[in-house]
Structure 1
Amino acid sequence: MKIALLALLGLALGALGGAALGIGAGLAWVETFKTTGFEGYSSMLVFFTFMPLGAAIGGIGCALLFGIIAIRDAEIAIEREPVRRHDR
């Protein structure tokens, strides 16, 4: 259950962060390649192309990362058994 909840948390946080990075990348694209602003073309490019791509990539990537971290955390033994001594 912990693994699924952490993966969902990673999905949400990754989607938000990825969308923000996608907007930044889209604005950089518009400025670098001098995309025309006629009838809002440049803003539609940013908000309908770069933002959803960033959100999807960030969400999937962060969900996988959080899931892998949760799986590895579940494998770590918190309490180890004491070492048995051999009596001769």
Structure 2
Amino acid sequence: MKIALFALLGLVLGTLGGAALAVGAGIAWVEIFNTSNFEGYSGMLVFFTFMPIGAIVGGLGGALLFGMLAFRDTDIAVAREPVRRGDR
């Protein structure tokens, strides 16, 4: 259950982060390659091409990353029992 919840969290965070980075990359693309702004073409290019691709890639990458981190519990302390010290 922990793995599924972490994968879902990674999906949400990865989607948001990937979409934001893709919008920035799309705006840079429009500026670098002087894309026409006739009837909002450059805006449609950014928000209908770059943003969905970035959201998909970011979501899958985030879900995979968080899922793998939750699966390999030795790398992160998620639900670890406290260490008990023995009587001397």
**Range class of TM-score, shorter chain:** 0.7 to 0.9
Match of 1:8 in 2: 8
List alignment gaps of at least 5 residues for structure 1. Answer: 80-88
Unaligned runs of 5+ in 2: 82-88
> Structure 1's 69 and 35: CA in aligned 2 closer, same or farther, altered over 3 A?
same
Task: State the match for 1:34 in structure 2.
Answer: 34
Q: Could you report, residue by residue, the CA deviation over 1:19-68 in whole angstroms, capped at 9, with x for unpaired residues?
A: 00010000000000000000000000000000000000000001000000
Alignment identity in percent? 72
* Alignment partner, residue 46 of structure 1: 46
Q: TM-score, normalised by structure 1?
A: 0.84
Q: Paired residues, what number?
A: 79
Q: Which runs of 4+ in 1 moved over 2 A?
A: none
Aligned-pair distance for 1:18? 0.3
Larger radius of gyration: 1
Letter in 2 for 1:34: N
- Pick the structure with more helix per residue: 1
TM-score (ref. length: structure 2): 0.84
